[in-house]
Every structure is written in C-alpha cells, then in structure tokens.
C-alpha cells in the first residue's frame, strides 16, 4: 500500500513535501519542480534549504493554506503537520489576467459607440425635426447592427470572408455624423481627402478610424483634422493627422497600456492604438504613427489585394 501511494505521488501533478524534525524526508518530482530544487540535494537537509522562502517556512510551521508568489510561479499551498502540499496556479492566474485584459478591450471597443448612441438618443428625446429624427434613427440602427457584428465577431479576430472592396468615402458620412457632438464641442472639423478603395472589413476600418479620430479630438490642439489616403507600390495608406506637439515614442504607444506623455490629464485606457494595430493586422495591413512639423499622423496601410478569382477588383483609386 505504501509503495502504491509513493508511486502515485511520484506521478502526481500536485507537489507534496514531507518533513520531520525540521528536515526534508520526501518530496515528489512536482514539488521539486515547483520549488526549483534538485531532490538529491535537499533530501535529509534542513527544510528551509528546500523552501528558501521565509513565508513558506512560516506556513509549514503554523499550518494553513494560502497563495504565494515564489520562483516566478503562483503557488497555492496547504500545510498540515509534517506535510506541505503545493498546486501550481500560474496558468490559472495568467488566464484570469488574459480575461481581465479582454474585458478591458471590450469595454474600450464599446465605450465610444455607446457614448455616441447615447448622445443621439438624448437629441431624439429632446425633439428633432422629422427628417433629422429619421436620420438619427437610421444611424442608431446602423450602429446597433455594427455592435451586433462586433459581438458575433468576438474575440476581435475578424474572419477574412468579411473583407470586401469598398471606397473609404463610404465611411465618411457615418463617422462624421457619429462624431458630430465631439466635433461641435471642440469647434473642430474633418477634412477628407480619401479617393481610394481598399480591400478590408469595413466595420474594422470604421472602428480603427473611429479610434484614431477620437484620439485626434482628445489630444490634438488645432481645429482641423485631416483624413488623407494615398497609394504606393505596397498598397494604400490612410492617415489621420492633427495639430499638436510632435511625439517621438510611437511604437511604444501601439503597445497595450501605453499612453503618450501629454495624455496624463485626458481620460483613456491606453488600449486604443493597440486595438487599431490588431484591427489592421486583421485585414493584412499595419498601423503606424509619425511626427509632422506641427502635429502627428496616425496611419493604416492596406496591402494590394491580389486575389482576382472571386473578390472583385484589386485596390485602386476610385475616381
């Protein structure tokens, strides 16, 4: 029976360490792995030489259970007289952290459109002329549809089948109407120079542009925001340019959780540009930033769509 128990512990994924008179009497391979010790070197030696952690030692002495960070792992441990049991909870903790990050990303993706929809609803509640009310309802319908697609599309990895060739100009009306309250608040306007078509998921491009325009309105200092597209040998680029102090740490800004040095007093999560980059990667493009003489430009690239079999024309100038 004892031999059976020992062979079971030898194969167990949980760690077990048995100690007597302050010395290590047995530890299984899992415990050796979690504690990063070589069994031969600690068997029969003082317990602390295997644990190498004053908190673990205290728990062994007093008994009880707790979670600790040790040797770059998250360990859940339980101590009863003479026995220390260890479970590696690192993966669980990492999954929980990933879930939290997903929640933050989702909140960010929904916050801007929901705030826009709320202001349209408030305008409707206060009374709008019939034609404008009809337009507002149409916008709400379109936004709701977009959010529905966003929910269906979780977790943000858009399927290639949703890509299609469309003119960037298609997005202009919806974006301007949607950002109208913020534009009015800052007495700002958008100048569009976007004669190109691209092959991408229109919802993803809409979301990326919404994030970039939202940033330009939050952090830009001038009244004019320029949205311009162009073409080179690699494909089409699309930039949102605003006036303001030129930045120099663009790559860092595209990392989740990073914010610009002038953003300390503006509400934000530091996720917007990271999302823009993920969205751009979804259609095979990229996202970048560059400093201008008196401001900054944040851009998207769209590769030339070479599939001539079913998806229609390749990327081209639409006029």
Partner 1 sequence: MREILDRELNQLTEQTIRMISLVREMTEKSAKALSAQDPRLAQEVIAQDAQVDAMELEIESKTITLVARQALVASDLRFAFTIIKALTDLERAADYAAHVAEDVILLAKEPPLKNYITLPDMGRRLTLMLDLISKSFAERDIEAAKEVFRRDDEIDSLYEEVSRELLTYMMEDPRTITKALTLGRVARSYERLGDHLENISERIIYWLTGKMEKKPEDVY
Binding site for partner 1 (CB under 8 A): 36-38, 41-42, 46, 48-50, 52-55, 57, 69, 71-72, 245, 248-249, 255, 257-259, 261-262, 264-265, 270
**Residue 63 Cβ vs partner 1, minimum distance, rounded to whole Å:** 19
Give the count of beta carbons closer than 10 Å to the beta carbon of residue 252: 14
**Residue 96 Cβ vs partner 1, minimum distance, rounded to whole Å:** 16
Q: For partner 1, which is the closer residue by CB, 113 or 244?
A: 244
Both tokens assigned to 236:
């089409």
| Residues 135, 21: Cα–Cα separation, whole Å | 81
Structural element, H or E, at residue 88: strand 83-88
Report the candidate in 68, 38, 65 with the shortest Cα–Cα distance to residue 54: 68
**Residue 210 Cβ vs partner 1, minimum distance, rounded to whole Å:** 23
Q: For partner 1, which is the closer residue by CB, 122 or 249?
A: 249
Helix 169-178 and helix 202-219, axial crossing angle in degrees, nearest 10: 50
**Residue 55 Cβ vs partner 1, minimum distance, rounded to whole Å:** 7
**Residue 118 Cβ vs partner 1, minimum distance, rounded to whole Å:** 27
**Residue 269 Cβ vs partner 1, minimum distance, rounded to whole Å:** 10
| Residues 166, 102: Cα–Cα separation, whole Å | 30
What are the respective helix, strand and coil percentages of the chain, to the nearest 5? Answer: 45, 25, 30
| Residues 299, 238: Cα–Cα separation, whole Å | 5
The answer to whether 172 touches 211, Cβ cutoff 8 Å, is no
Q: For partner 1, which is the closer residue by CB, 73 or 172?
A: 73
The answer to whether 190 touches 180, Cβ cutoff 8 Å, is no
**Residue 217 Cβ vs partner 1, minimum distance, rounded to whole Å:** 21
Q: For partner 1, which is the closer residue by CB, 10 or 36?
A: 36
| Residues 151, 163: Cα–Cα separation, whole Å | 17
List own/partner pairs for 119-126 with CB under 8 A and 24 or more apart: 119/181
Q: For partner 1, which is the closer residue by CB, 126 or 265?
A: 265
| Residues 44, 42: Cα–Cα separation, whole Å | 6
Q: For partner 1, which is the closer residue by CB, 71 or 164?
A: 71
Q: For partner 1, which is the closer residue by CB, 46 or 230?
A: 46
Sort 205 into a burial class: Cβ within 10 Å, 0-12 / 13-18 / 19+: buried
**Residue 107 Cβ vs partner 1, minimum distance, rounded to whole Å:** 17
Give bridge partners of residue 46 from the DSSP assignment.
Answer: 23
Q: For partner 1, which is the closer residue by CB, 249 or 307?
A: 249
């Amino acid at each position: 029976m004892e031999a059976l128990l020992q062979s079971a512990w030898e194969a167990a994924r949980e760690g077990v360490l048995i100690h007597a008179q302050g010395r290590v009497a047995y530890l299984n391979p899992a415990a050796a792995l979690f504690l990063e010790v070589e069994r031969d070197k600690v068997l029969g030696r003082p317990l602390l030489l295997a644990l190498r952690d004053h908190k673990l030692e205290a728990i062994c002495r007093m008994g009880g259970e707790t979670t600790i960070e040790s040797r770059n792992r998250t360990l859940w441990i339980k101590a009863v007289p003479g026995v220390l049991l260890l479970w590696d909870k690192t993966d669980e903790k990492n999954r929980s952290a990933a879930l939290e990050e997903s929640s933050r990303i989702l909140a960010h993706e929904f916050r801007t459109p929901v705030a826009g929809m709320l202001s349209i609803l408030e305008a409707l509640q206060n009374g709008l002329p019939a034609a404008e009310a009809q337009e507002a309802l149409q916008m709400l319908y379109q936004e709701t549809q977009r959010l529905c697609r966003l929910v269906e599309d979780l977790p943000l990895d858009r399927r290639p089948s949703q890509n299609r060739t469309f003119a960037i100009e298609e997005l202009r009306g919806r974006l301007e109407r949607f950002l109208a309250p913020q534009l009015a608040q800052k007495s700002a306007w958008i100048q569009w120079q976007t004669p190109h078509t691209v092959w991408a998921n229109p919802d993803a491009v809409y979301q990326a542009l919404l994030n970039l325009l939202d940033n330009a309105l939050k952090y830009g200092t001038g009244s004019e925001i320029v949205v311009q597209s162009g073409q080179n040998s690699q494909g089409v680029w699309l930039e949102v340019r605003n006036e303001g102090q030129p930045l120099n740490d663009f790559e860092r800004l595209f990392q989740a959780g990073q914010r610009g040095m002038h953003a300390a007093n503006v509400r934000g999560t530091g996720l917007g540009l990271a999302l823009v980059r993920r969205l751009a990667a979804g259609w095979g493009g990229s996202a970048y930033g560059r400093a201008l003489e008196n401001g900054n430009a944040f851009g998207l690239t769209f590769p030339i769509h070479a599939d001539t079999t079913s998806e229609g024309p390749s990327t081209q100038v639409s006029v």
